[in-house]
């Protein structure tokens, strides 16, 4: 279980951001099961390379029940589709709706993993670099949230431990009491943390957050390799735009599932998709090999 | 010309008829190192925030502040940001980013400096402050001292000409405090910056400043060199006397009958001068050798019987994760009824972890904690470092009632407990306040009230004196003494050597997860050379067995 360093995150943040936006748009526009499955596979592979099998399995344990839940819930609320499986209260529960539920669940997992790998590449500093100018308030909020996560976690454990000694605990007593205790603990957490943010706001003001004309420390210089990545992203974007416009990969769930057929074009699209989604993996492998070679020359 | 000049500054919060600042006129010159001190609520922090105009509290302000001769309201925002640096009290809350290098660049980015310039300045300051070691670490993994140095560095990169600091070391341990002040002194002496610092713990800062501004009730009571102000405070007999450096207080004890006529410049402020004065006093008054030794405590009479044991730890081992190293190793000790047991030691030696074991929050993987008074865990009460996390409701009254309800106690117990102890006499006046609005000392007292409702037999305290002023510390000592008088056993973890020396019955030194020595304070502190109280440092090899100012007084006035 080796842990690769994430070379993809070293690219210029603007380029990396454009890449991830493209993938995001692609994932939600092309509603083809084969396409989604291939994408999910590549995203999981990337997560496996970055965080190892243990972390991947751990997140899947949480996610699979979610997919099942959405898959089961959807057909009960959504009665479109032509293939009834059985009837409930005189309303059909259809195969199409069931499959659409599964599809949505898998899509959500894909998006979660996409966001995970995104956050591995765009840390808070890069995020502010990207959005500090356009969305000053939102980027401010996001920095604070990112910084506060570890503190909240630590404070929460301090609070719940202390409160447990005072008889307020989520692990003891009847359900009602536990819920009440939980609510109380959360409310202290919020008020104690809010107290701290007043200082943070003052400290930001004192150091000129409100001034106009900010600059950025890490210049994130454009290099030739950023240009290569950008051009590849744009070319692939155009390719998939054509795919979408021509409808070569359209898929409908309702009223009846579109028939899935594989021909040279659809296979080509899948392969290109693998390449596109797999760019971070390819970059990481190339850089890893490059590094190993550079060691060998010494 | 003055760098900062305030003229008849008066300020009050709206809806509050009392003025926080009252007619304050100060002239501060370039390169001054000024200490702002005074009892809690004297307005020192408010004044400091007004000097950094951008974060001035909202309210009615009259009078003027001039920065380099220009009214501060007309100084462009940009130069207010860079020219006047402000370091806040809480090391954590003022940090904005999640990596030290980002944090240091934050101000410069806002000022719009070119990237190369930022890179150069950040590099320069990081090496000056020794931050390279953790330059790219996550900030939440740093210690409090490292965080506060980082905050200072993040201000220094903007190359300010004035540095304002609001009790920057009140959350730090003595070692980190010393480090912080020495770098602050270096900044003042080597770079010529004007430094204005608020503090209530004067021991370490008092000897290194040029001037002291002593405030009382929103007025400047004295603004002069440290010696003159010290004399003024001593002669006035105010509570601030307890906050003065120990050598000064020992000197005050020795000369208490004629200090009013003394030349202020002869008042010692640091250990070296304190020793010279003490030696001179002993020689001049021809004090015989028998009066230089405080009779040692009678160890036999201090021996406690086994049946008085309150808490017994037997060979405790603890680690947080299976694969991580032991945090606690083979810890065995016992505490007795009516005893204050202090656990001392540097940062990260496992003191707080030990408390969590004693309170039952964490379980040791080997060894046992036995509470011999009763077998109920509720009889052990725990007061955390920040008492504010003990309160769940918006008012003290609701909070106390809620506590009674959760523990199936009648509401009348609140009144009973308040009446039982003298020091709770003034608490009912706070019953309608929000716990978070109270001062540190008041919060702590309310926290004690909460604990006492549960009628504990053992109380565990984590850094109870952190961030408290001299007056609140005295209150805390009163509370602890009353409680032990009623048979309660108190175990506290602390960095505050003076407090431990004065008030504990026994002290334990923790190092590297082990308890390396347990002794009565007298022998504990007089045997240590570095890890000891200031009194012990002043009197070492002149007097014997003296570890607190009270000891010196007793010895000299038998």
Domain identity same for A11 and A157: no
Domain identity same for A234 and A87: yes
Burial-class residue A92 by CB neighbours within 10 Å (0-12, 13-18, 19+).
middle
- Tell me whether A263 touches chain B (CB under 8 Å): no
Distance from CA of A185 to the nearest CA of B (A): 7
Contacts of A258 (CB under 8 A, 6+ apart): A250, A251, A252
**Would you say residue A2 has pLDDT above 50?**
no
User: What SS3 state is found at B547?
Assistant: coil
The DSSP code sequence of B148-195 is HHHHHHHHHTT--SEEEEESTTTTS-HHHHHHHHHHHHHHHHHH--EE
- Tell me whether B210 touches chain A (CB under 8 Å): no
Q: Report CA torsion sign: B110, B111, B117, B122.
A: negative
Asked if A208 lies within 8 A of B77 by C-beta distance, the reply is yes
Share of chain A above pLDDT 70, in %: 95
Asked if B110 lies within 8 A of A207 by C-beta distance, the reply is yes
- pLDDT confidence of residue B75: 93
Radius of gyration of chain B (CA): 25
Six token digits for residue B462: 């984590």
* Best CA proximity match to A206, nearest among B158, B135, B67, B63: B158
Query: Looking at chain A from residue 87 to 146, which residues have their Cβ under 8 Å from any Cβ of chain B?
Result: 123-125, 143-144, 146
Question: Scanning every residue of chain A, which has its alpha carbon at the shortest distance from the alpha carbon of B107?
Answer: A207
Residues of B in contact with A211 (CB under 8 A): 77-78, 81, 110-112
- Tell me whether B544 touches chain A (CB under 8 Å): no
- pLDDT bracket for residue A81 (50, 70, 90): confident
Domain identity same for A16 and A88: yes
Question: What is the C-alpha separation between B36 and B43, in angstroms, rounded?
Answer: 10
Residues of B in contact with A186 (CB under 8 A): none
Total beta-carbon pairs less than 8 A apart between chain A and chain B? 152
Six token digits for residue B198: 């608020």
User: What SS3 state is found at B291?
Assistant: helix
Domain identity same for A19 and A66: yes
What are the backbone dihedrals phi and psi of residue B244, each rounded to the nearest 5 degrees, phi first?
-65, 160
Residues of A in contact with B90 (CB under 8 A): 196, 199
Between B97, B378, B382, which is nearest A162 by CB?
A: B382
Q: Is A2 within the bounds of a domain?
A: no
Helix axes of B440-453 and B412-420: crossing angle, nearest 10 degrees:
120
Rounded to two decimals, what is the model's pTM?
A: 0.80
Query: Looking at chain A from residue 189 to 228, which residues have their Cβ under 8 Å from any Cβ of chain B?
Result: 191-192, 195-197, 199-200, 202-219
Six token digits for residue B225: 């060199």
Pairing mode, if any, of strands B340-344 and B489-493? parallel
Residues of A in contact with B110 (CB under 8 A): 207-209, 211, 214
Residues of B in contact with A154 (CB under 8 A): 140
**Would you say residue A3 has pLDDT above 50?**
no
Question: Scanning every residue of chain B, which has its alpha carbon at the shortest distance from the alpha carbon of A174?
Answer: B406
Q: Is A70 within the bounds of a domain?
A: yes
Asked if B388 lies within 8 A of A159 by C-beta distance, the reply is no
- pLDDT bracket for residue A140 (50, 70, 90): low
The DSSP code sequence of B205-249 is TGGG-SEEEEEETTEEEEEE-HHHHHHHHHHHT-GGGGGS-HHHH
Six token digits for residue B190: 């080597």
- 8 Å CB contact between B107 and A207: yes
Specify the long-range contacts of residues A171-177, CB closer than 8 Å, at least 24 apart: A177/B406
Six token digits for residue B354: 């030990």
CA A36 remoteness from chain centre: 15
Order of strands, edge to edge, in the sheet holding B60-67?
Answer: B21-29, B2-12, B60-67, B70-71
Domain identity same for A111 and A240: yes
Asked if A199 lies within 8 A of B94 by C-beta distance, the reply is yes
* Best CA proximity match to A197, nearest among A140, A154, A158: A140
- 8 Å CB contact between B109 and B178: no
The CA–CA distances, whole Å, from B111 to A205, B153, B361, B499 equal 12, 16, 47, 45
Distance from CA of B172 to the nearest CA of A (A): 17
Last residue of a domain, one of A145, A179, A206: A206
Residues of B in contact with A183 (CB under 8 A): none
pLDDT digits (tens, 9 = 90+) for A238-270: 999 998 888 877 788 887 788 777 888 888 989
Asked if B390 lies within 8 A of A147 by C-beta distance, the reply is no
The CA–CA distances, whole Å, from A106 to A30, A102, A194, B240 equal 14, 6, 37, 67
Pairing mode, if any, of strands B309-318 and B328-336? antiparallel
Domain ranges of chain B: 2-244, 299-519
Contacts of A158 (CB under 8 A, 6+ apart): B384, B386, B389
Distance from CA of B8 to the nearest CA of A (A): 24
Question: Terminus-to-terminus CA distance in chain B, angstroms?
Answer: 54
| Same fold across B2-244 and B299-519 | yes
Range of the domain at A88: 7-125+224-297
- Tell me whether B448 touches chain A (CB under 8 Å): no
Domain identity same for A14 and A91: yes
Largest CA distance in chain A: 76
Residues facing A240 on adjacent strands? none
Residues of A in contact with B103 (CB under 8 A): none
Question: What is the C-alpha separation between B15 and B12, in angstroms, rounded?
Answer: 9
- pLDDT bracket for residue A298 (50, 70, 90): low
- Tell me whether A185 touches chain B (CB under 8 Å): yes
- Tell me whether B154 touches chain A (CB under 8 Å): yes
Question: What is the C-alpha separation between B493 and B350, in angstroms, rounded?
Answer: 10
- pLDDT bracket for residue A1 (50, 70, 90): very low
Asked if B96 lies within 8 A of A202 by C-beta distance, the reply is no
Question: What is the C-alpha separation between B252 and B257, in angstroms, rounded?
Answer: 9
Domain identity same for A158 and A269: no
- 8 Å CB contact between B535 and B246: yes
In chain A, the number of structural domains is 2
CATH 3.40.50.300 fits B2-244, yes or no: yes
What are the backbone dihedrals phi and psi of residue B327, each rounded to the nearest 5 degrees, phi first?
-85, -35
Give A135 or B168, the one with higher predicted confidence: B168
- Tell me whether B16 touches chain A (CB under 8 Å): no
Pairing mode, if any, of strands B194-198 and B33-37? parallel
Between B380, B381, B392, which is nearest A187 by CB?
A: B392
Question: What is the C-alpha separation between B341 and B328, in angstroms, rounded?
Answer: 18
Asked if B115 lies within 8 A of A218 by C-beta distance, the reply is yes
Residues of B in contact with A212 (CB under 8 A): 112
Asked if B82 lies within 8 A of A208 by C-beta distance, the reply is yes
Distance from CA of B383 to the nearest CA of A (A): 8
The DSSP code sequence of B486-530 is TT-EEEEE-S-HHHHHHH-SEEEEEETTEEEEEE-HHHHHHH-SS
- pLDDT confidence of residue A178: 86
Question: What is the C-alpha separation between A188 and A166, in angstroms, rounded?
Answer: 14
Contacts of B155 (CB under 8 A, 6+ apart): A207, B85, B86, B87, B107, B163
Six token digits for residue A212: 């106009």
* Best CA proximity match to B334, nearest among B306, B360, B361, B365: B306
Structure letter (DSSP) for residue B293: B
The DSSP code sequence of A245-271 is HHTTT----SSSPPPP---HHHHHHHH
Residues of B in contact with A147 (CB under 8 A): 95-98, 139
Radius of gyration of chain A (CA): 24
- 8 Å CB contact between B98 and B139: yes
pLDDT digits (tens, 9 = 90+) for A32-62: 888 899 999 999 999 888 888 888 898 888 8
Question: What is the C-alpha separation between A93 and A95, in angstroms, rounded?
Answer: 7
Asked if A147 lies within 8 A of B139 by C-beta distance, the reply is yes
Residues of A in contact with B94 (CB under 8 A): 199-200, 202-203
pLDDT digits (tens, 9 = 90+) for A178-217: 888 888 888 888 888 887 888 888 999 999 988 888 887 7
Domain identity same for A111 and A59: yes
- Tell me whether B86 touches chain A (CB under 8 Å): yes
- pLDDT bracket for residue A114 (50, 70, 90): very high
- 8 Å CB contact between A197 and A144: yes
User: What SS3 state is found at A84?
Assistant: strand
Asked if B54 lies within 8 A of A143 by C-beta distance, the reply is no
Structure letter (DSSP) for residue B296: P
Report chain B (558 residues): mean pLDDT per 10 consecutive residues. 93 86 94 92 91 92 94 93 95 88 90 91 93 87 92 96 94 89 95 93 92 94 95 88 92 88 92 94 88 82 82 92 89 92 87 89 89 66 90 90 89 90 88 87 91 91 87 89 92 92 93 91 87 92 91 85
Mutation target to probe the A interface, by most A beta carbons within 10 A, among B82, B98, B460 is: B98
Asked if A203 lies within 8 A of B155 by C-beta distance, the reply is no
Last residue of a domain, one of A159, A178, A206: A206
Asked if A207 lies within 8 A of B154 by C-beta distance, the reply is yes
What are the backbone dihedrals phi and psi of residue B61, each rounded to the nearest 5 degrees, phi first?
-120, 130
Query: In 10 A of CB A296, how many CB atoms?
Result: 7
What are the backbone dihedrals phi and psi of residue B163, each rounded to the nearest 5 degrees, phi first?
-120, 125
Q: Is A215 within the bounds of a domain?
A: no
Domain identity same for A15 and A81: yes
Question: What is the C-alpha separation between B161 and B31, in angstroms, rounded?
Answer: 9
Domain identity same for A112 and A159: no
Asked if B112 lies within 8 A of A213 by C-beta distance, the reply is yes
What are the backbone dihedrals phi and psi of residue A39, each rounded to the nearest 5 degrees, phi first?
-60, -45
Q: Span A217-228, mean pLDDT? A: 83
Between B106, B112, B389, which is nearest A207 by CB?
A: B106
In CATH, which of 3.20.20.70, 3.40.50.10210, 3.40.50.300, 1.10.357.10 is domain B299-519? 3.40.50.300
* Best CA proximity match to A106, nearest among A21, A38, A19: A38
- 8 Å CB contact between B462 and B352: yes
Six token digits for residue B444: 């702590």
- Tell me whether B361 touches chain A (CB under 8 Å): yes
Last residue of a domain, one of A143, A172, A206: A206
- 8 Å CB contact between B26 and B220: yes
- pLDDT confidence of residue B478: 92
- 8 Å CB contact between B323 and B549: no
Six token digits for residue A40: 């999910």
ipTM (interface pTM): 0.86
Q: Report CA torsion sign: B186, B188, B192, B193.
A: positive
């Amino acid at each position: 279980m080796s842990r690769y360093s994430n070379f993809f995150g070293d690219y210029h943040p603007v380029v990396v951001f454009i890449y991830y936006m493209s993938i995001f748009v692609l994932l939600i526009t092309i509603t083809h099961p084969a396409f989604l499955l291939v994408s999910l596979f590549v995203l999981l592979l990337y997560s496996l390379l970055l965080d190892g099998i243990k972390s991947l399995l751990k997140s899947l344990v949480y996610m699979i029940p979610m997919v099942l839940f959405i898959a089961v819930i959807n057909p009960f609320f959504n009665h479109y589709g032509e293939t009834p499986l059985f009837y409930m209260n005189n309303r059909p529960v259809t195969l199409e709706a069931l499959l659409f539920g599964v599809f949505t669940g898998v899509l959500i997992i894909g998006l979660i993993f996409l966001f995970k790998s995104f956050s591995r590449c765009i840390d808070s500093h890069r995020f502010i670099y990207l959005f500090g100018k356009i969305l000053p308030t939102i980027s401010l909020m996001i920095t604070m949230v990112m910084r506060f996560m570890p503190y909240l976690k630590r404070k929460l454990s301090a609070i719940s431990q202390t409160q447990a000694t005072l008889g307020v605990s989520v692990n003891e007593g009847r359900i009602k009491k536990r819920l009440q205790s939980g609510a109380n603990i959360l409310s202290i957490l919020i008020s104690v943390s809010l107290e701290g943010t007043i200082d943070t706001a003052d400290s930001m003001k004192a150091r000129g957050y409100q001034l106009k004309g900010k600059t950025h420390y890490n210049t994130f210089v454009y290099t030739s390799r950023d240009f290569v990545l950008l051009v590849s992203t744009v070319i692939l974007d155009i390719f998939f735009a054509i795919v979408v416009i021509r409808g070569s990969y359209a898929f409908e769930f309702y009223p009846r599932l579109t028939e899935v057929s594989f021909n040279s074009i659809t296979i080509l699209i899948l392969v290109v998709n693998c390449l596109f989604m797999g760019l971070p993996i390819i970059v990481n492998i190339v850089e890893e090999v490059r590094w190993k070679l550079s060691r060998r020359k010494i | 010309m003055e760098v900062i000049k305030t003229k008849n500054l008066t300020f009050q919060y709206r809806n509050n008829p009392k003025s926080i600042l009252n007619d304050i006129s100060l002239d501060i010159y370039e390169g001054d190192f000024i200490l702002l001190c005074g009892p809690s609520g004297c307005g020192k922090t408010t004044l400091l925030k007004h000097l950094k105009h951008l974060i001035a509290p909202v309210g009615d302000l009259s009078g003027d502040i001039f920065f380099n001769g220009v009214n501060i309201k007309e100084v462009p925002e940009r130069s207010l940001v860079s020219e006047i640096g402000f370091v806040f009290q809480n090391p954590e809350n003022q940090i904005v980013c999640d990596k030290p290098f980002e944090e240091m660049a934050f101000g410069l980015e806002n000022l719009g400096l070119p990237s190369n310039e930022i890179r150069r300045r950040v590099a320069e300051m990081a090496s000056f402050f020794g931050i390279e070691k953790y330059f790219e670490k996550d900030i939440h993994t740093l210690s409090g001292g490292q965080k506060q140095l980082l905050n200072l560095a993040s201000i220094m990169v903007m190359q300010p000409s004035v540095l304002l600091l609001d009790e920057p070391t009140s959350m730090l341990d003595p070692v980190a405090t010393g480090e912080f002040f020495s770098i602050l002194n270096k900044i003042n002496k080597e770079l010529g910056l004007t430094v204005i610092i608020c503090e209530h713990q004067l021991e370490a800062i008092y000897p290194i400043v040029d001037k002291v501004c002593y405030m009382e009730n929103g007025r400047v009571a004295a603004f002069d060199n440290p010696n003159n102000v010290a004399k003024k405070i001593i002669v006035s007999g105010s509570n601030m006397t307890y906050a003065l450096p120990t050598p000064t207080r020992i000197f005050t004890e020795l000369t208490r009958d004629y200090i009013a006529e003394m030349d202020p410049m002869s008042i010692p402020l640091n250990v070296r001068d304190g020793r010279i004065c003490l030696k001179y006093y002993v020689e001049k008054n021809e004090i015989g050798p028998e009066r230089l030794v405080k009779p040692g405590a009678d160890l036999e009479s201090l021996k406690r019987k086994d049946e008085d044991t309150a808490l017994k730890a037997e060979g405790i081992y603890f680690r947080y994760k299976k694969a991580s190293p032991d945090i606690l190793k083979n810890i065995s000790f016992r505490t007795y009824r009516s005893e204050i047991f202090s656990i001392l030691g540097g940062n990260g030696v496992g003191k707080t972890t030990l408390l969590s074991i004693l309170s039952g929050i964490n379980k040791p993987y080997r060894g046992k904690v036995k509470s011999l008074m009763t077998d109920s865990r509720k009889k052990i009460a725990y007061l955390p470092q920040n008492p504010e996390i003990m309160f769940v409701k918006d008012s003290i009254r609701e909070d106390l009632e809620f506590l009674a309800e959760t523990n199936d106690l009648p509401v009348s117990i609140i009144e009973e407990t308040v009446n039982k102890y003298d020091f709770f006499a003034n608490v009912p006046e706070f019953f309608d306040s929000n716990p978070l609005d109270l001062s540190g000392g008041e919060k702590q007292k309310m926290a004690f009230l909460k604990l006492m409702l549960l009628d504990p037999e053992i109380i565990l305290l984590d850094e109870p004196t952190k961030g408290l002023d001299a007056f609140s510390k005295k209150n805390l000592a009163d509370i602890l003494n009353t409680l032990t008088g009623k048979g309660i056993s108190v175990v506290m973890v602390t960095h505050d050597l003076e407090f431990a020396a004065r008030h504990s019955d026994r002290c334990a030194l923790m190092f590297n997860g082990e308890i390396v020595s347990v002794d009565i304070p007298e022998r504990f502190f007089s045997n240590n050379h570095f890890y000891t109280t200031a009194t012990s440092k002043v009197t070492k090899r002149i007097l014997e067995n003296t570890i607190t100012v009270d000891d010196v007084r007793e010895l000299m006035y038998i």
